[in-house]
Chains A and B, each alone.
Chain A
Amino acid sequence: MNPVLFAVLNTELEKPRIDWPIIAPVVALFVTALVIVLLRAILRTQPKLVYQLSIAAAFVGLVTSGAFVGNEWRIIHRSGIFQTFSGAIAVDGMTVFVQAIVLIATALGVLLALGYLRREGLETPEYLVLLLLSATGMLVMAHANDLVLVFVALEVFSIALYILAAFDRRRAESQEAGLKYFVLGAFSSAIFLYGIALTYGATGSTSLTEIATQLGVVDPKAHTGLLVAGFALLIVGLGFKVSAAPFHMWTPDVYEGSPTPVTAFMASATKVAAFAAFLRIFAGAFAQASDDWRPAIYVLAVLSLLVGTIAAAIQSDVKRMLAYSSIAHAGYILIGLQVANAGSKRNELPGTAASLFYLLVYALMALGAFGVVQSINHRGETNHAITDYKQLSKRQPLLAALLTLFLLAQAGVPFTGGFIAKLSIFRSAVDAGQYQLAIAGMLAAVIGAFVYLRLVVTMYATGQDDDPDAANEPRIKLDVGSRIALTITASAIIVLGVLPNWFLDIAHQATQLLTR
Chain B
Amino acid sequence: MNALLLAATKDVVAFHVNPVLFYALAAIAIAGATGVVISRNPVHSALFLVMTMIIIAVFFLTLSAPMVAIVQVIVYASAIVVLFLFVIMLLGIDRHEMLATDDRKYQRPAGAALGLLTLGGLIATVIGNWQLGPQTSSGRALSAIPTLDGVASTTAGETDQIRPLARTLFTQFAWQFQVTAVLLVIAVVGAVVLARRSTRPARTEVSA
Interface size classification for chain A: 35 or more
B185 touches A51 (CB 8 A): no
Q: Chain B, 106-129, contact with A by CB distance < 8 Å: what is the 0/1 string?
A: 000000000000000010111111
A232 to chain B: which residues have CB within 8 Å? 125
CB-CB contacts below 8 Å: A5-64 with B = 5, 9, 12-16, 23, 26, 30, 33-34, 37, 47-48, 51
> Does B172 lie at the interface of the complex (its beta carbon under 8 Å from any beta carbon of A)?
yes
B128 touches A225 (CB 8 A): yes
Q: Given the complex of chains A and B, what is the CA–CA distance between A214 and B133 in angstroms?
A: 10
**Whole-angstrom distance from the CB of B24 to the nearest CB of chain A?**
24
> Does B130 lie at the interface of the complex (its beta carbon under 8 Å from any beta carbon of A)?
yes
Given A133-B185, A204-B6, are A159 and B190 neighbors across the interface (CB < 8 Å)? yes
A130 touches B190 (CB 8 A): yes
The residue that A200 contacts in the complex, of B2, B138, B182, with Cβ under 8 A, is B2
Q: Given the complex of chains A and B, what is the CA–CA distance between A121 and B151 in angstroms?
A: 57
> Does B38 lie at the interface of the complex (its beta carbon under 8 Å from any beta carbon of A)?
no
B174 to chain A: which residues have CB within 8 Å? 16, 85-86, 88
> Does B207 lie at the interface of the complex (its beta carbon under 8 Å from any beta carbon of A)?
yes
> Does A126 lie at the interface of the complex (its beta carbon under 8 Å from any beta carbon of B)?
yes
Q: Given the complex of chains A and B, what is the CA–CA distance between A86 and B170 in angstroms?
A: 11
Given A136-B182, A204-B133, A206-B2, are A126 and B193 neighbors across the interface (CB < 8 Å)? yes
**Whole-angstrom distance from the CB of A175 to the nearest CB of chain B?**
8
Q: Report the stretch among A165-173, A256-264, A368-376, A465-473 that lies at the interface.
A: A165-173
Q: Given the complex of chains A and B, what is the CA–CA distance between A1 and B139 in angstroms?
A: 43
A149 touches B137 (CB 8 A): no
A37 touches B185 (CB 8 A): yes
A34 to chain B: which residues have CB within 8 Å? 185
Q: Given the complex of chains A and B, what is the CA–CA distance between A184 and B162 in angstroms?
A: 35
Q: Given the complex of chains A and B, what is the CA–CA distance between A153 and B192 in angstroms?
A: 22
B201 to chain A: which residues have CB within 8 Å? 121
Given A159-B183, A163-B193, A229-B122, are A86 and B133 neighbors across the interface (CB < 8 Å)? no
> Does A197 lie at the interface of the complex (its beta carbon under 8 Å from any beta carbon of B)?
yes
Interface residue tally for chain B (C-beta within 8 Å) = 59
> Does B90 lie at the interface of the complex (its beta carbon under 8 Å from any beta carbon of A)?
no
Q: Chain A, 146-180, contact with B by CB distance < 8 Å: what is the 0/1 string?
A: 10110011011001101100110110000000000
Q: Which residue of A lies closest to B151 (CB)?
A: A9
B122 to chain A: which residues have CB within 8 Å? 229
B126 touches A225 (CB 8 A): yes
**Whole-angstrom distance from the CB of A151 to the nearest CB of chain B?**
9
**Whole-angstrom distance from the CB of A345 to the nearest CB of chain B?**
28
Given A148-B2, A149-B175, are A224 and B131 neighbors across the interface (CB < 8 Å)? yes
Q: Given the complex of chains A and B, what is the CA–CA distance between A128 and B69 in angstroms?
A: 39
> Does A212 lie at the interface of the complex (its beta carbon under 8 Å from any beta carbon of B)?
no
A197 to chain B: which residues have CB within 8 Å? 2
Q: Given the complex of chains A and B, what is the CA–CA distance between A163 and B132 in angstroms?
A: 39
The residue that B132 contacts in the complex, of A1, A202, A222, A229, with Cβ under 8 A, is A202
A85 to chain B: which residues have CB within 8 Å? 174-175
A205 to chain B: which residues have CB within 8 Å? 134, 146
A124 touches B133 (CB 8 A): no
A133 touches B125 (CB 8 A): no
Q: Which residue of A lies closest to B10 (CB)?
A: A204
Q: Given the complex of chains A and B, what is the CA–CA distance between A148 and B124 in angstroms?
A: 26
Q: Which residue of A lies closest to B127 (CB)?
A: A225
Q: Given the complex of chains A and B, what is the CA–CA distance between A200 and B1 in angstroms?
A: 12
Q: Which residue of B lies closest to A37 (CB)?
A: B189
B124 to chain A: which residues have CB within 8 Å? 225
The residue that A226 contacts in the complex, of B131, B202, B203, with Cβ under 8 A, is B131
The residue that A88 contacts in the complex, of B135, B173, B189, B190, with Cβ under 8 A, is B173
**Whole-angstrom distance from the CB of B94 to the nearest CB of chain A?**
22
A156 touches B179 (CB 8 A): yes
Given A224-B139, A226-B131, are A148 and B146 neighbors across the interface (CB < 8 Å)? no
CB-CB contacts below 8 Å: A97-133 with B = 120-124, 126, 129-130, 133
Given A34-B185, A121-B202, A156-B186, are A13 and B167 neighbors across the interface (CB < 8 Å)? yes
Q: Given the complex of chains A and B, what is the CA–CA distance between A198 and B2 in angstroms?
A: 11
> Does A476 lie at the interface of the complex (its beta carbon under 8 Å from any beta carbon of B)?
no
A219 touches B137 (CB 8 A): yes
B176 touches A148 (CB 8 A): yes
> Does B149 lie at the interface of the complex (its beta carbon under 8 Å from any beta carbon of A)?
yes
Given A33-B185, A130-B189, A197-B2, are A217 and B126 neighbors across the interface (CB < 8 Å)? no
**Whole-angstrom distance from the CB of A47 to the nearest CB of chain B?**
4
> Does A228 lie at the interface of the complex (its beta carbon under 8 Å from any beta carbon of B)?
yes
Q: Which residue of A lies closest to B198 (CB)?
A: A169
A137 touches B206 (CB 8 A): no
> Does B13 lie at the interface of the complex (its beta carbon under 8 Å from any beta carbon of A)?
no
> Does A89 lie at the interface of the complex (its beta carbon under 8 Å from any beta carbon of B)?
yes
List of 9 A-B pairs having minimum Cβ-Cβ separation, nearest first = A121-B202, A169-B198, A204-B133, A163-B190, A225-B125, A85-B175, A222-B139, A47-B206, A204-B134
Q: Would you give 19 A-B contacts (Cβ < 8 Å), ordered by A?
A: A5-B156, A13-B170, A47-B207, A86-B171, A86-B172, A88-B173, A121-B205, A130-B186, A140-B182, A156-B182, A159-B186, A170-B198, A201-B6, A204-B133, A206-B2, A217-B134, A224-B129, A226-B130, A232-B125
* A contact set with B: CB distance below 8 Å: 1, 5, 9, 12-16, 23, 26, 30, 33-34, 37, 47-48, 51, 85-86, 88-89, 120-124, 126, 129-130, 133-134, 136-137, 140, 146, 148-149, 152-153, 155-156, 159-160, 162-163, 166-167, 169-170, 196-198, 200-206, 214, 217-219, 222, 224-226, 228-229, 232
